[in-house]
Structure formats: structure tokens, C-alpha cells
Structure 1
Amino acid sequence: MRQQGPGQRVLETPRAAGLAGVVFALLLAAAIVLLRLGVPEGTGAVNAGGFTNSARHDVVRTALSLVPFAGIFFLWFVGAVRAHIGESEDRFLATVFLGSGLVFTATLFGATAAASAVLDLAHPAGMAPSPSSWDFGRHLAYTLMTEYATRMAAVFACSMSVIGHRLGILPRPLTVLGFLTTFTLLFVAASVPWVELVFPAWSLVLSAYILRASGRARPRTAADA
């Protein structure tokens, strides 16, 4: 907490909030990898062993249960980014930034729930689900993840990059990286497997920069006080 004026106090964003982006990126990357491994693509994948191998089934269930925590850390990450932007942010872009982040979180949860439903389908132990049930659950999970969640992640990265460019709070290489991430998520992720991993990678880089910037700002603030 720091003094802003006579009788006024302003809460400072805890530095740990910047770490939330790092944790989110790692959890999301793990969830995407395990989701693709646990619910593979292709009509013949239903008999590939994901439903007859109980150990693999349990590992994927445990991994998917971590996704809600990734969502929580993502919200902390959004808060840390907005604190880094400050009060001079454009209201239009700020609304798009926040809205896309919330919709991304909801869509990610939906994709995870669909994947969990595929794994938890009611069928005899050690047997694969029916092809119709498999196709429906698999298509629902992948459509939510690659068609909707990635599009919202693209809007999130784009709005953050535009804000960072306009206000000069992000270095040029990081801004360019954000626009490349946006283009990839919008036009490539739906057709090329594993490309959605670029979003947690971008989030990790952005979080590292925010942590570094906040580490430089705090000693300067203490010296000014």
C-alpha cells in the first residue's frame, strides 16, 4: 500500500499476481497436451487404448481437474496485466480485452467438461464407448477448444498488443509477438493440431516481462518515497 495524497491510500498490485501468468501458462499447456493425448483425433482413436487403459484414464482425469485452477490463475493474470497498463488504458480496448478473457475462460471450461464427459461415458469397464458417443464428445471438445477458445485467446492477445503499442508499455518485439500469436490462433489453430500451445507460450513471455518490469518499478518507487 502506498500514499497517493493527503488521507488517501492506493493498494498496490502484489508482485505475486505476475507469477499467476506463469502458473496459468504452465497449467494450460499441460491441459492442452493431456487433452489431445487423452482424447485423440480420428475415428479409429476410440480403440487406441485411451478407454481400456485405466492408468491413462486416471492421469487424464487428474490433469483435467487442474483446469479450473488454471482459470483462476488466468483471472489473476488479467488483473496483473490491467495493473501494468494503469489508468490510461482505452476504455473500448479495455472492454474487449477483459470480455475476451472472461469468454476464453468460460469456453476453456466447456471444452474441458466435454473432454471429461467423453472419458466418463457410461460403458462397461474395459470397453470402448460407442462410435456415435465418441464422435459427439470428441467433436464437441475439439470444437470448443480450437474454434472458440482459441478465437477468444486471439482477441485477448490482439487487444493487449494494441494497448501495449498505443501506450508504449510493451517493447516492440513483444508487440509483434502478440500480433503473430493473434494471426496464428485466428487462422491456423483450427486446422493444425497443437498450434493452440502458442497462447500459453505468449502468456508466459508476457508474464515474465511484467514480472521484470514490476521488479524495476518497485525499487524506484521506494527511492522516490
Structure 2
Amino acid sequence: MDRLSVIGVVLALCALVGGSILKGAGLAGLWSPAAFLIVIVGTIAAILVQTSASTFMRAMKMLPWVFRPPEQDHQAVIAQIVEWSTTARKQGLLGLEAQVAEQADPFMAKGLQMVVDGLEPEAIRQMLEIELQGQSERDVAAAKVFEGMGIYAPTLGIVGAVLGLMAVMKNLADPSKLGHGIAAAFTATIYGIGSANLVLLPVGNKLKTLIRAQATGREMIIEGLIAIAQGENPRNIEARLNGYLH
């Protein structure tokens, strides 16, 4: 569990709700079905038009990463690669064949299979880097779904405010409706700016940070597998890979 994300969400809610209460608007002032429909539903509609189905579904699957990031035990990966290197020097590359089926990470299993098959180191690097680049691009595109929503939400908040003010203008003859109408109009602006800056944009940036960290871990795996294929000394491999930890 990512404690910072949890704390951030709690503080965001406290800031929004607490600010509304302290300013005298109260909790009721934050609720407006019309504003919700225009801003939240409208934002979802806009991003659905912009995004492909596969990218949108990937974004939804990645959303839990904000609170439960993918586990990346780099120390354990380095220890595993060093162990493979030692085995390869003693038994040859075929001595690693039994390890392929035991790998939970498809990327590592694929790379190790290439090493066992005796592919040239540069060929291994090229194929794994292509796969890494493709996966990273798909993940970044998914993270940008939330960035896109963060761009659309404030604009739709303004649209909601304008629509609300239009309704107010139609009731100028009835002063009793003016205050409530103006308050409801600005609620849409709060929905738009608040959802963008407290949720959507931070989520997008957090996911991109996690994607970069995951890519760095994959790069470390590639370097380790290439070093095994080249028959490098296990101690040298460990020293090189430890550089990724910093």
C-alpha cells in the first residue's frame, strides 16, 4: 500500500470539505446533480471519444497502481541474475533451462529463454528493448488518459458555470432564486478544477512515475541477461546492476 497516496487523498478531501465548511458554504454546497452530470459525465464522454478501447481499459487496470504499485524487488532480481550467472559458468547456458518455466515475470522468462537458446547478445538486446519500448508506450498512453481528463474537466466546469448563470439570468425577476442559482453555477467550476488538480492530474503523473521505475527495472534485467550471455564474471555483473539501485 502506498501510504503517501492514501494520505494525499485524505488531505484533498479534508481541504475541499473543510474549506467549504469554513467558508460557510457547508456540505450541501458541494453537491449539485447538474454539475456532476456536466463535468464528471462530460469528462468521461470526452475521454472516451479521444481514447481507443484498449488504452482506456489499460488505464482502468492501472488505476489501482496509485495505491498498490507493482512490486519491484530489485535486490532480489539482482541476486537471481547473479545466481544464474554462476550456474551458467559452471554448467553452461543450458543449465538455466529449468529456470525458464519458474519465472512469474513473462519478460524475464522470455529473455532467459533467449539466453538459453544461445542467441547473440545484441539480438537479445534488440528484441527485449523493442518489447520494453512497446510496453512502456502503451502504459504511458494509458496514464495520459487521466491527464486528458484533467484537461477536459476544468473546461467543462466553466461550461457548467455558464449554463448555471444562463439559468440565473432567466430568473432575474425572482430575487429569491438568484443566490441559489449562482451558487449552483460555481459548484460546477469546483467540480472541474477540483477533480483535475486533486485527482486526475496527480493520478496521471503518479502512474508515469511508476512506469518509468518499471522500465528501469526491465533495463536492469536486460543488462543482466546480456552479461550472462557474454559470460561475464558474476561479481562484475552484480557491481554493474547495483548501479541501477541508485
TM-score (norm 1): 0.39
Please identify which structure carries the higher helix content: 2
Of structures 1 and 2, the larger Rg is shown by 2
**TM-score, normalising length from structure 2?**
0.36
